[in-house]
A and B are shown apart, each in its own frame.
Chain A
Amino acid sequence: MNLLRLISWPYVRKHVLRTVLTTAGIVLGVAVFVGMHTANQSVLFAFNSTVDRIAGKTELQVSAGETGFDEAVLETVQGAATVRVAVPVIEAVVDSQREGQGNLLVLGTDMTGDRSLRDYDLEDADEAIIDDPLVFLAQADSIMLTKAFADRNGLSVNSVMTLGTALGPRAFTVRGIMKSKGLASAFGGNLAIMDIYAAQRMFGRGRTFDRIDLATRPGVTIEEAGAELRTLLGPGFQVDVPAGRGQQFQAMTASYGIMVSISSLFALFIGMFIIYNAFAIAVTQRRSEIGILRALGATGSQVRRLFLLESAATGLVGSLGGLALGLLMARGIAASIGTIMQDVYGVAQRADEIATSPALLGLALAVGVGTSVVAALIPAGQAARVDPVQALQKGRYQVLSAGENRARLMAAAALGIVSVLCVAVPTSRPVFYAGYLLAIVVALLLGPILALVLSRAIRPLLKWLRPVEGALAADSLIQAPRRTSASVAALMLSLALVTAFAGMARASYNSILDWVNGTLNPDLFVSPSQDVVTRTLRFPAAMGDELAALPGIERVQRVRNARILFRGTPVMIVATDIASLAETAPREPVEGHPTEMYRLTAAGQGLMISDNLARLAGLHAGDAIEIPAPAGIISLPIAGIIVDYSDQQGSIIMDQAVYQRYWRDDTVNVFRIYLRDDATADAVSRSILSTYAGERQVFVLTNGELRDYILRVTDQWFGLTSIQIAVAVFVAILGIVNTLTVSITDRRRELGVLKAVGGLRGQIRRTIWLEAISIGTLGLVLGFALGALNLYYILQIIERDIAGMRLDYVFPFGTALALVPVILIAAFVAALWPAESAVRGSLVEALEYE
C-alpha cells in the first residue's frame, strides 16, 4: 500500500486525464453489463412481482396457455379432493382511456370465493356496498381500483370511469378503492378488479376463463395436488405454481438476454484493451522509476504486484462508476424492454422500479476488477522483468520481436483451426460458443501483426500525402506496435460489434419485410385492439358472417392466435381458414409440398409449422407432433414448414376447425378482409366502424397501417440494438482519444526534439492528426473484417439459440460506409486536443521529459 501511495498515486495525479480515460473503458463495460442485465431483471422482477401480488395465497394455477378454457373445468378443479379453494380468473389489459396513464390490468374474479385467496384490503369504500360482494356482483359496472391509480386520476368511490372493452368504451362505477400494497401494488398500481362474469362479457371471452387459481387442503402438498389435477384435466392443461408464469416470461426475454451478454462481453473486452494500452504505456514511461525501485532492492514480484494493485484500483474505481452509470441507464432500458414485451409479445408489463441484484452488482464489480487486472497482467509481468540498465533505453519495449510475432501466428493458427472445427462439426452449444470465443481470440492475436502490416502498407500513402508528417505518423505507428495494436484492437472490437448487430438487424428486417409482403396481403384488418398483438379482447365468431355481408367485402378470414406451451416452450397457435388462406396468401414451403400442405392442413389432416420452430425443436415435414389441448391431444403430421414470424419462439398453423374442436373456442382475434375490386378501403372501413359503433370496440387497419405497425415494432426491437451500437461506437471513440492522449504524452520528448530542430507547429499538428486518422483507418479495416466474421456467428446464434430464424448473410455495407466518416472524423476530433497540447507545451519541459 505504501508503494501505491508513494509511487502510483503521484503518477495518477500527474496523468489525471489519461487515468480518467482509462477508467472510462471499464466504466462503460461495466455500465453496459449492469444496465442491460438490470433492466432485463427489472422487467422480469416486475412481472414476477405482479404475478406474486395477484396470486395472493394461490398455490397452484391451472391454465391452457393463453387460450383460456371452458368454464366447466372449474367444477372439475373444485371437485378435486386435494383442492380447498379454486377460483376462476380472467386477466385483461385495457386502455385506461386516461391521458398518460397507459394500460390498466383488469382482474376478473369471482368474489364469492376469491377473498379466500386474495386480500382486497379496501382503503375507502362505502362498506354497505363494497363489503357486500353481492352488490359488487349484482352490478356489471362494478370496479375496484387501487388508491394509487384513483389518486392519480382524481377518482373516488362511486366515481364513474370509462374503459375500452370489447363492447366499445363502457362506463364503470368505482365501488371500492384498495390500499396500495399487496395485490393493489401489482402492475404498478394500474390494477382494477371486476366480477369475472362481467369480465367475460366485457372482454369477449364467451364462457371461458383464463385460468383457475387454487389453494390446497391442509396437509396436502402442492405436488400431490398438482398430480391429481394433471390426472383429472389431462395434458392440455398446465398446472403450475404462480412463479411458473415468470419462467415463461423469462423464456420470451431469453433471446434479449443472450444479446445483452454478447454486448457486455464485447464492452468488457474493449475496456480490457484500453486498460492494457494504458498500462503498457505506463510501464514504458515509468521504466526509470521501475529501474530505481529494482536497484533499491524491490523484487520483480513486488513490482508486478504494484502494477496489478494499480490496475485493481483502477478496475474498482471504474467498476463503481460503471455500477452507478449502469443503474442510471437501466431505468430507460427497462422502459424500452417493457414496451417491446407489450408490442412484440402482447405481454404487458411495466417496470416502475429498478430491481438491483446484489449478485449481479457483485459479479459486475468482480468482472470489472478482474478484467482490469487481466488487462494489466502482461504489462505488469513485463515491468517485473525490467532490467535497471535496459530501463534507460527508451523505445525498445515497444518493438515486437520476430519471435513474438511467430508465436502469435502459431497460436492464432492453432486456435483458428480449433475454432473452425467447433463450428464445422455440429456438436453441443458450449462447443459452438467456445468456437466463437476462440475466433475472437484469434482475431486479437492477429491484431498486432495485422496492425503492423497495415501500418507499413499505408506508410507510402501517408508519405505521399504529406512527405514529412505522413512519414512521421506512420513511423510512430510502426515503432510503437503495442500502443497502436491495443487501440486498434479496441476499435476493431467495437466495429465488429457494430457491424454484426447492424447486419443482424438488416437481415431480420429484410426477412420480416418479405414475410409481411407475402402473408399480410388483405386490404383491411379488423381487430378489437389498437395493436394486433394484444389478445386481451376478442370478437365472437358470428361477427365474421356480419362482416362478410357488408357491401364491398369479398372475403373474410378469421384468425385466432394464442400462445400455448409446446414441449415446454411458449409458441403461437395460429388458427384460420387454411383453404381460404391457400388461395389468398400461399407461401412457398421451406419443407413440404406447396399445395399438398395446404390441402392436408385445411382438411385437418396435418399442421404447418414455422421454420424457426422447426429449427428450434428439430422438426421436419412428415414428423408427427402432439399438441396438448384442453379437449385432448392433437396428433398430426407436419404437412409443411413455412417462414412465419408470428412469434419469435415459433408458430403452429392449423385450420380453425381443428382449433375449435380441441379448444372449444370460436372467438376471433383478427379478421382479415379482402375487398371487392370496386370497393375502397376507406368506404368499407367507415362502414365497418359505423356498423359496430357503440356495440363493439373495433379498430380497422389498412394493409399499409398494419405493415407500418409491424415494421415499427421491428424497429423497436432493434432499437435496443442501436443502444448497444451507440455504446460500441462511443467506446471506439474513447479508445482513439485514450490512445492519442497516451501517445502524445509518451512522445513529448520526440515532439520536443521535432520542434527544437525547426518543426513547425502545423507539421506537428498534422502528424498527430494523420496518426489518429491512420489508427481509425486500421481499426475500420480490421473491425469490418472481424465484423464480417462476427456477423456470421451472430446469425448462427439467432438460428440456433434465439429465434430459429434463418437469416441471409448480407454484410451491412450501408452501415459500414456510414461508419467510415464517423470513425475518421471522431479520430480527427479526438486528435485535436492532444495535437494542441503537443504544440503548445514547453519545449524545455518536453526535452527534459523522462
Chain B
Amino acid sequence: MNDAVGSSPVGPACRRVPIALGSSPVGGRTVRRPRLLAGALLGLTLGSPALAAAQDARQIVQEVQKRGDVRSQRYEGLLQVFNARGTVSDKRWMLERLGSYGASRVVLRFTQPAEVRGVALLVVNHPDRASDQWMWTPSIERDRRIALQDRSQRFFGTDFSFEDLEERDVQQFDYVLQGEEAVDGESCWRIQSVPTRTKSSQYTRSIVWVRKSTYTFARIDNYIGDQVVRRLTYGDMADVQGIWTARRLEMTDLRSGSRTRLTLDRLQYNVPMTADDFTLQALRRQ
C-alpha cells in the first residue's frame, strides 16, 4: 500500500487494491511504508455506474479500486481528534497527489495549527517496493526519512494507526462474501477480508461493507481476535467530477473511545501538476 497512493498507471489496477484509509488488514512484509493519510484518502473514492452483475468478493474489491483511479488530486483536509474526555484538536493540511497506483507522489503540507504549520510529508510510491517517505520540519530546516516499523502505532496522535493508512495488495488477502447488509439505510455487500499467511498485520480480519449502488466503502470493522478494535466509516458521499467520493471519514478506536474525523474540502481530481513539485528539493523550498 505504500506503493498505491492513488490510481496506478503502472501495472494493472486490479493487482493492487487500496482499501482506502485505514481499512482492513494489511501489514505484510512487502509493505514497508504506509502511505499516510494523504495517499490513503485517495482510495476512498469510487466512480462510474454500477457494475452489470454481481461479482465475487475479490472482484467487488477490485472494482472499488478501479473506480477511484485518477491522474491527480488536491484537497484541503480537516483532521479532528475527539478524545474520550471530549477534548477536540484540529489540524488542517493541503494534499496534492500526482500519478496513480504504484507510482504516485504525494505531498501533504500541514497548514494549521501554528505549531505544525509548514511541516510537510512527501511520499514517493514505487510499484515494486516500499514507498519512500520524508518529513520536512521547517523549524530545524531538516528533512528526515520516515521508516514506519511498527504499524500498530497511532499516526501522529490520531486514531488511525500507520497500518490503517496503507493501501493493500488485493492479492494478499482472502475475501469471502458474507451476504448483504444495510449500512445507514444503504444496501451493501458484507465482505470478510483476512490477510494471507504471508502478510503480517495487527488485525486478524476485517469486515468491509461496500455500497452496491456506487461501489464505495461504507464501513470497515477491524478485528483483533474476536474484538472489533477500530471502526472506519465513510460518509458525506458526493459525486466529484464523476467519481463517487467519501468526504468524511471517521475512525473510532473502540478500546479508548476516542475518534478521529477527516473532512475533505475543496476536492479536485485531475488537476494539472508537475513532477518537480513532488521532490525533496520542492519540499524544502516551500
Residue contact A137 to B147, C-beta cutoff 8 Å: no
Knowing A134-B156, A140-B140, say if A116 contacts B150 (CB, 8 Å). Answer: yes
Q: Of the 9-residue stretches A125-133, A467-475, A530-538, A831-839, which lies at the interface with chain B?
A: A125-133
Residue contact A139 to B115, C-beta cutoff 8 Å: yes
Residue contact A197 to B144, C-beta cutoff 8 Å: yes
Knowing A113-B149, A127-B83, say if A132 contacts B156 (CB, 8 Å). Answer: yes
Residue contact B139 to A138, C-beta cutoff 8 Å: yes
In the assembly, what is the distance between CA of A129 and CA of B81, in Å? Answer: 12
Residue contact A137 to B148, C-beta cutoff 8 Å: no
Knowing A116-B149, A116-B153, A134-B116, say if A201 contacts B140 (CB, 8 Å). Answer: yes
Please, which residues of chain A bring their CB within 8 A of the CB of B135?
112, 137
Q: Of the 9-residue stretches A78-86, A341-349, A631-639, A687-695, which lies at the interface with chain B?
A: A78-86
Most interface-central of B91, B118, B137, B149 (chain A CB within 10 A): B149
B146 at the interface (CB under 8 A from A): yes
The distance from the CB of A585 to the nearest CB of chain B, in whole angstroms, is 39
In the assembly, what is the distance between CA of A113 and CA of B33, in Å? Answer: 12
In the assembly, what is the distance between CA of A508 and CA of B237, in Å? Answer: 82
Residue contact B116 to A138, C-beta cutoff 8 Å: yes
Residue contact A197 to B137, C-beta cutoff 8 Å: yes
Most interface-central of B83, B91, B156 (chain A CB within 10 A): B156
In the assembly, what is the distance between CA of A128 and CA of B258, in Å? Answer: 13
Knowing A75-B145, A85-B150, A139-B139, say if A131 contacts B157 (CB, 8 Å). Answer: yes
The distance from the CB of A387 to the nearest CB of chain B, in whole angstroms, is 84
Residue contact B153 to A115, C-beta cutoff 8 Å: yes
Please, which residues of chain B bring their CB within 8 A of the CB of A129?
115
Knowing A128-B89, A134-B156, say if A197 contacts B150 (CB, 8 Å). Answer: no
Residue contact A110 to B149, C-beta cutoff 8 Å: no
The distance from the CB of B252 to the nearest CB of chain A, in whole angstroms, is 17
In the assembly, what is the distance between CA of A78 and CA of B150, in Å? Answer: 11
B119 at the interface (CB under 8 A from A): yes
The distance from the CB of A772 to the nearest CB of chain B, in whole angstroms, is 74
A829 at the interface (CB under 8 A from B): no
Within 8 A of B (CB), among A79-115: 83-86, 110, 112-113, 115
A453 at the interface (CB under 8 A from B): no
The distance from the CB of A200 to the nearest CB of chain B, in whole angstroms, is 8
Binary per-residue interface labels of chain A (591-629) against chain B in the complex, 1 for a CB within 8 Å, 0 otherwise: 000000000000000000000000000000000000000
In the assembly, what is the distance between CA of A86 and CA of B146, in Å? Answer: 12
The distance from the CB of B122 to the nearest CB of chain A, in whole angstroms, is 14
Please, which residues of chain B bring their CB within 8 A of the CB of A128?
81, 87, 89
In the assembly, what is the distance between CA of A141 and CA of B139, in Å? Answer: 9
Binary per-residue interface labels of chain A (563-600) against chain B in the complex, 1 for a CB within 8 Å, 0 otherwise: 00000000000000000000000000000000000000
Knowing A128-B89, A137-B135, say if A78 contacts B156 (CB, 8 Å). Answer: no
Please, which residues of chain A bring their CB within 8 A of the CB of B146?
112
Candidates A78, A83, A116, A138; contact of B137 at CB < 8 Å: A138
Residue contact B149 to A86, C-beta cutoff 8 Å: yes
Please, which residues of chain A bring their CB within 8 A of the CB of B144?
110, 197
In the assembly, what is the distance between CA of A137 and CA of B135, in Å? Answer: 10
B143 closest partner in A (C-beta): A197
Candidates A113, A133, A198; contact of B156 at CB < 8 Å: A133
Binary per-residue interface labels of chain B (83-118) against chain A in the complex, 1 for a CB within 8 Å, 0 otherwise: 100010101000000000000000000100001101
A847 at the interface (CB under 8 A from B): no
Please, which residues of chain A bring their CB within 8 A of the CB of B118?
138
Please, which residues of chain B bring their CB within 8 A of the CB of A789?
none
B contact residues, total (Cβ < 8 Å): 26
In the assembly, what is the distance between CA of A115 and CA of B144, in Å? Answer: 17
A74 at the interface (CB under 8 A from B): yes
A437 at the interface (CB under 8 A from B): no
The distance from the CB of A155 to the nearest CB of chain B, in whole angstroms, is 19
Binary per-residue interface labels of chain A (59-77) against chain B in the complex, 1 for a CB within 8 Å, 0 otherwise: 0000000000000001100
B147 closest partner in A (C-beta): A78
Within 8 A of A (CB), among B61-90: 81, 83, 87, 89
Residue contact A140 to B139, C-beta cutoff 8 Å: yes
Residue contact A113 to B148, C-beta cutoff 8 Å: yes
Knowing A128-B87, A197-B140, A197-B142, say if A134 contacts B157 (CB, 8 Å). Answer: yes
In the assembly, what is the distance between CA of A112 and CA of B142, in Å? Answer: 15
Residue contact B83 to A135, C-beta cutoff 8 Å: no
In the assembly, what is the distance between CA of A129 and CA of B89, in Å? Answer: 9
In the assembly, what is the distance between CA of A11 and CA of B144, in Å? Answer: 80
Knowing A75-B145, A201-B140, say if A134 contacts B150 (CB, 8 Å). Answer: no
The distance from the CB of B224 to the nearest CB of chain A, in whole angstroms, is 15
Knowing A127-B87, A140-B139, say if A135 contacts B150 (CB, 8 Å). Answer: no
Binary per-residue interface labels of chain B (109-137) against chain A in the complex, 1 for a CB within 8 Å, 0 otherwise: 01000011011000000000000000101
Knowing A113-B150, A116-B150, A127-B87, say if A134 contacts B145 (CB, 8 Å). Answer: no
In the assembly, what is the distance between CA of A78 and CA of B138, in Å? Answer: 25
The distance from the CB of B195 to the nearest CB of chain A, in whole angstroms, is 15
In the assembly, what is the distance between CA of A128 and CA of B148, in Å? Answer: 22
Please, which residues of chain A bring their CB within 8 A of the CB of B116?
134-135, 138
Please, which residues of chain B bring their CB within 8 A of the CB of A197?
137, 140, 142, 144
Residue contact B149 to A133, C-beta cutoff 8 Å: no
In the assembly, what is the distance between CA of A197 and CA of B147, in Å? Answer: 15
The distance from the CB of B88 to the nearest CB of chain A, in whole angstroms, is 8
In the assembly, what is the distance between CA of A195 and CA of B142, in Å? Answer: 12
The distance from the CB of A738 to the nearest CB of chain B, in whole angstroms, is 67
Most interface-central of A78, A83, A86, A197 (chain B CB within 10 A): A197
The distance from the CB of B190 to the nearest CB of chain A, in whole angstroms, is 32
In the assembly, what is the distance between CA of A137 and CA of B83, in Å? Answer: 21
Please, which residues of chain A bring their CB within 8 A of the CB of B110?
134, 138
Knowing A129-B115, A138-B115, A139-B115, say if A78 contacts B140 (CB, 8 Å). Answer: no
Knowing A131-B157, A134-B156, A137-B119, say if A85 contacts B149 (CB, 8 Å). Answer: yes
Please, which residues of chain A bring their CB within 8 A of the CB of B138?
138
Please, which residues of chain A bring their CB within 8 A of the CB of B137?
137-138, 140, 197
Please, which residues of chain B bring their CB within 8 A of the CB of A116?
149-150, 153
Binary per-residue interface labels of chain A (189-229) against chain B in the complex, 1 for a CB within 8 Å, 0 otherwise: 00000010110010000000000000000000000000000
Most interface-central of B83, B135, B138, B147 (chain A CB within 10 A): B147
The distance from the CB of A158 to the nearest CB of chain B, in whole angstroms, is 11
Please, which residues of chain B bring their CB within 8 A of the CB of A133?
156-157
In the assembly, what is the distance between CA of A135 and CA of B156, in Å? Answer: 9
Please, which residues of chain B bring their CB within 8 A of the CB of A85?
149-150
In the assembly, what is the distance between CA of A524 and CA of B115, in Å? Answer: 43
Please, which residues of chain B bring their CB within 8 A of the CB of A132?
81, 89, 156-157
Please, which residues of chain A bring their CB within 8 A of the CB of B153?
113, 115-116
The distance from the CB of A138 to the nearest CB of chain B, in whole angstroms, is 5
In the assembly, what is the distance between CA of A83 and CA of B149, in Å? Answer: 9
Candidates B119, B147, B148, B156; contact of A74 at CB < 8 Å: B147
The distance from the CB of B130 to the nearest CB of chain A, in whole angstroms, is 10
Q: List 12 A-B contacts (CB under 8 A).
A: A75-B147, A85-B149, A110-B144, A112-B146, A113-B153, A128-B89, A132-B81, A134-B119, A138-B116, A138-B139, A197-B140, A197-B144
20 extra interchain contacts, Cβ-Cβ under 8 A, other than A134-B91, A134-B156, A137-B137?
A85-B149, A112-B146, A112-B148, A113-B153, A116-B150, A116-B153, A128-B81, A134-B110, A134-B116, A137-B135, A138-B118, A138-B119, A138-B138, A139-B115, A140-B137, A140-B139, A197-B137, A197-B140, A197-B144, A201-B142
- Pairs A-B, 3 closest by C-beta atoms: A132-B157, A128-B89, A116-B150
